[in-house]
Amino acid sequence: MKSSRKRDLSRILAAGVAVFSLSLGGVSGMAQSGDPVRVRGAVVSLDGSTLVVHSREGADLSIHLADNWGVVGVVKASMSDIKQGAFIGAASLPQPDSSLRAIEVLVFPEAMRGSGEGRRPWDLKPDSVMTNATVGDAVDGVEGRTVTLSYKGGEKKVTIPADAPIVTFSGAAKTDIKAGALVFVPTLRQPDGTMNANRIVVGKDGVAPPMLRRALDGTIWRSTTAARLSL
């Protein structure tokens, strides 16, 4: 039983590393090359190796899935998981005092410590950045928890508001990829315009991947016919 759980965890972590590496512009686990494109939205259909996603920009995008495509889930975590020594990824907006204010936070499983470490531009909102780093000091305040994130070559103070979505990776199955499911798909766009992918991130247990947050109004949706949801 323990051996089975360990194998399941290994598969989850391997998929999570592959997803995150590709989302940062790499081609982990893919034979193809191309321009990285992050697709965020709701599943319209999955037919064989063709996934159609209604993107947050309003277009239905067709994505070709690799033969060995996999899926990783995202489930809810909590502020208590963001403690000294934790390794997290914080999508944030720069503040006038040079600090950062988190829009969303991913708490990495311990075995994924160091994934994508550092700070880089992120396409969630205009001027947003992603900081993957280890939590140092953590202080609770009126506006939320302020943490010092340390990474190779620097550190940054980040305030995490109480309403910021906080998630972590979990197991998922291909059967979770169905109409209406909220997904994040790191793809590689080919010269002919087609998009290829080998991993899908899907919200689990009613949790929407926070990377689906719209750039302007902070809302998400399950499909063109579903009621709009608010993060």
Confidence class of residue 125 from pLDDT cuts 50, 70 and 90? confident
CATH number for the domain that contains residue 10: 2.40.50.320
**69 and 80 in a common domain:** no
- Is the domain of 115 the same as that of 133? yes
Residues 158 and 82 in one domain: yes
Residue 212 resides in a domain: no
91 with 155, same domain? yes
Residue 226 lies in a domain: no
Q: Does some domain include residue 230?
A: no
- The reported pLDDT for the residue numbered 90 is 95
* Residue 59 within a domain: yes
**What residues make up the domain containing 43?**
2-73+176-203
Query: Is 217 domain-assigned?
Result: no
Tell me the whole-structure pTM to 2 decimals: 0.74
Band (155; pLDDT cuts 50, 70, 90): very high
State the Cα–Cα distance between residues 83 and 186, nearest whole angstrom. 29
Residue 151 lies in a domain: yes
**Banded model confidence at residue 208, pLDDT cuts 50, 70, 90:** confident
Report residue 210's pLDDT band, with 50, 70 and 90 as the boundaries.
low
Q: What is the pLDDT of residues 10-22, one digit of tens each?
A: 455 544 544 554 4
Non-local (6+) Cβ contacts of 54 within 8 A are 41, 42, 43, 44, 60, 61, 223, 224
In a shared domain, residues 80 and 157: yes
Regarding whether 120 and 96 lie in a shared domain, the answer is: yes
State the pLDDT confidence band at 214, using cuts at 50, 70 and 90: very low
Residues 88 and 155 in one domain: yes
Q: What value does the mean pLDDT take over residues 130-151?
A: 90
Place of tokens 């899908």: 200
Q: Provide the 10 A C-beta neighbour count for residue 58.
A: 8
- Comparing CA positions, the residue from 211, 201, 197, 200 lying closest to residue 27 is 197
pLDDT 10s digits, 42-89: 999 999 999 999 998 889 999 999 999 999 999 999 999 999 999 999
Domain check: are 107 and 81 in the same one? yes
Residue 138 lies inside a defined structural domain of this protein: yes
Mean pLDDT, the chain, integer: 81
Residue 217 has pLDDT above 50, yes or no: no
**Per-position DSSP letters for 22-66, written without gaps between them:** HHTT--TT-S---EEEEEEEEEEEEETTEEEEEETTS-EEEEEEE
Q: Is 116 a residue whose pLDDT tops 60?
A: yes
Average of pLDDT values for 120-124?
84
Q: Classify residue 124 by its DSSP letter.
A: S
